[in-house]
Amino acid sequence: MKLLIATLFGAACALVAPGAAAQNWVNLLKNTPAEYFDDEDLRLFLDTARKTLDQAPDNQPVTWENPKSRNRGEMTVLRTFESKGNSCKEVRVRNESRGRKSDNRRTLCKVDERWRLMGSSQMKGK
């Protein structure tokens, strides 16, 4: 079942958010309320992610909500910085679905015109 969900997320990310590396977004959503997202929820989430990363100023939450499923979330850029010549952002991602909530912080850097999740080992020496 988890493999199916991961595959669906990957396909949806590739179709809906060509500027995002699909595999990276799958990792961001794994083991979170997003596993219950339907196609519309996922589209709203990805649109919010794109808007947050490309346009939102630091500490300005960008929210989404699907009135049909009642799923919702929020993204906030906590800080913007450069690492290894790339624009990076530390982002707080909150989602809620079926009473299940998540609150995570992730670092993404724009590499080759795509936002990519960065692990702590990749950020050493920033």
Q: What is the pLDDT of residues 83-118, one digit of tens each?
A: 999 999 999 999 999 999 999 999 999 999 999 988
**Spatial distance between the Cα atoms of 89 and 92, rounded to a whole number of angstroms:** 10
Strands (E), the chain: 62-66, 71-83, 86-97, 100-111, 114-118
- Domain residue ranges in the chain: 2-123
**Spatial distance between the Cα atoms of 21 and 45, rounded to a whole number of angstroms:** 15
Q: Which pLDDT score is estimated for 30?
A: 72
pLDDT at 61 over 80: yes
pLDDT at 2 over 70: no
Overall average pLDDT of the 32-59 stretch: 93
Q: Which pLDDT score is estimated for 86?
A: 95
Q: Which pLDDT score is estimated for 120?
A: 72
